Chain A
C-alpha cells in the first residue's frame, strides 16, 4: 500500500569548483577495500537519506554534479526544484575560494530565489597546505548572509551537521511562512536527472 512514509521532501545540491570534494562529501570517502568496484566505476547520481528534525521525518534527495562544473555549464536544469545548495570550496585551494562569489552569482541567475545556501570549506583535515584561513570563510559567509562550516569528507567532520543544518534552515523557512503549518509534502520532480544534464562528457 502506498502509505505515507515521510512528512517532507527536500532536494539539495552540491556546487563548487571541480576537485573541492563534492563527490566525496556526498559519497562516503571511498575506502577502496570496501566500496564496490562496480558501483565506483559507474558513479552515484543521487542519494535519498531520511533525517528527523523537529519531530518531522524528512527525506533529503541529494544530488552531485556529473562534472559539468568543470566546463561552467551548470544551468537552470541542474538547479530546478532545488531547495538547498551546499557551496563548497577547498581550504587548500585559494582559487576555489575566490570562485565562491562566482558560484553565488550563478545560483542567483539560475536557482530559485528563495533557495537556502550554505558555504563549506572542505578538506580541513589537511594542515600543511592550507591556503584559506577559517576567518576568511567566516567573513565571506557573513558578507552574503550564508551559514558556514569547515568540513572534511575524509575525516567525516561536520558532514552530517552540514546537511542537518541546511535541512533545518529550509524547514524553519516553511514553518515561518505558514505558522504551525508546514506544507504536507513538498514535491520535486524525480524524473529530472536522467535527461540532458548527463549528456556532457
Chain B
C-alpha cells in the first residue's frame, strides 16, 4: 500500500468564516453534494483509498489527506451516498455517479468529512 500526501492549492480562497464559501459539487458530474457554508473546515490527517486505479494495479492505493469539510449531520448533505461499513467507517460517494470515496462517515461521532481535493469547491 502506498501513501501519498495531497494538499489543496489556494485553500484560503475556498473558506469564508470557517465554512465552505461555495457549494460543493462532484468532480465527475453536476451533482450537488453540499450547499455553501454548511461545512466547517477542519485540518485532520486521514487516509482515503484512491478514487481510481489502473487496471494493472492489484491493491488500492491510499492517499493521506489533510483538508476536510466537516458536516455534523448526514441530513445536511444535498446529495450523497454512504457505502457499507469498511475499515470501520462508511465511505462517502457522489449520489449520482458514485465516484468516491469523497470522504468518510465516523460511526461513533456520526460526523462526516468531505475531502476538499475530491470535490469541486466552486
Contact = CB atoms under 8 A, between A and B. Distances in A.
Interface string A120-155: 000000000000000000000000000000000000
A53 interface: no
Contacts of A34: 28, 97, 99
B78 interface: yes
Contact of A38 (B53, B75, B77): B53
A191 B50 CA distance: 27
B77 A39 contact: no
A51 to B, nearest CB: 10
A106 interface: no
B99 A36 contact: yes
A2 B97 contact: no
Contact of B75 (A9, A44, A191): A9
Nearest to B72: A2
Contacts, number: 98
B45 interface: no
Interface string A26-53: 0110100011111110111111111000
A95 interface: no
**Chain A CB within 10 Å, residue with most, of B72, B91, B97, B98:** B98
B23 to A, nearest CB: 12
Nearest to A4: B76
A198 interface: yes
Interface residues of A, number: 31
Contact of A47 (B52, B60, B80, B110): B80
A39 to B, nearest CB: 5
B84 A36 contact: no
B100 interface: yes
B71 to A, nearest CB: 10
Contact of A44 (B60, B73, B93): B93
B83 interface: yes
16 contacts: A37-B52, A38-B50, A38-B53, A38-B60, A38-B100, A39-B83, A42-B84, A42-B91, A44-B82, A44-B83, A44-B84, A45-B83, A45-B90, A50-B78, A61-B75, A198-B84
Interface of A: 2-3, 5-6, 9, 27-28, 30, 34-40, 42-50, 59, 61, 66, 190-191, 194, 198
Interface of B: 28, 35, 38, 49-53, 60, 72-86, 90-91, 93, 95-101, 107, 110
